[in-house]
Amino acid sequence: MSSSKEAARGLYNIAYNQDGYFTYLQAKEAGYVQQSQSYHVHNGDWEREWRGIYRLNNYPRPDYPDLMILYLWTCNKQGIPQGVISHDMALDLYNLGSWTLQRNTMTVPPGFRRNAPPPGGWDSMKLYHAKLRKSDIKIMHHVPFTTPLKTIIDLLVAGHVPRHHLISAMEDALGQGLITHHQLLKANLATGEQTLLIQLLKEMRYDRIKEI
Which residue, among 133, 60, 138, 70, has the nearest Cα to 105 in the 3D structure?
Answer: 70
Cα 85 to Cα 132, 139, 140: the distances in Å are: 12, 10, 10
Distances in Å between the Cα of 190 and the Cα atoms of 8, 11, 65, 153, 167 are: 47, 42, 35, 10, 20
What is the per-residue pLDDT for 1?
A: 38
Domain ranges of the chain: 3-56, 65-211
Each residue of 5-61: pLDDT tens digit? 899 999 999 999 999 999 999 999 999 988 788 889 999 999 999 999 999 999 998
Angle between helices 148-158 and 87-94 (to 10 degrees): 140
CA-based nearest residue to 196, from 158, 161, 166, 153: 153
Residue 2 scores a pLDDT above 90: no
Q: What is the pTM of this model?
A: 0.91
- According to the CATH classification, is domain 65-211 in 3.40.91? no
What count of other Cβ atoms lies within 10 Å of the Cβ of residue 53? 22
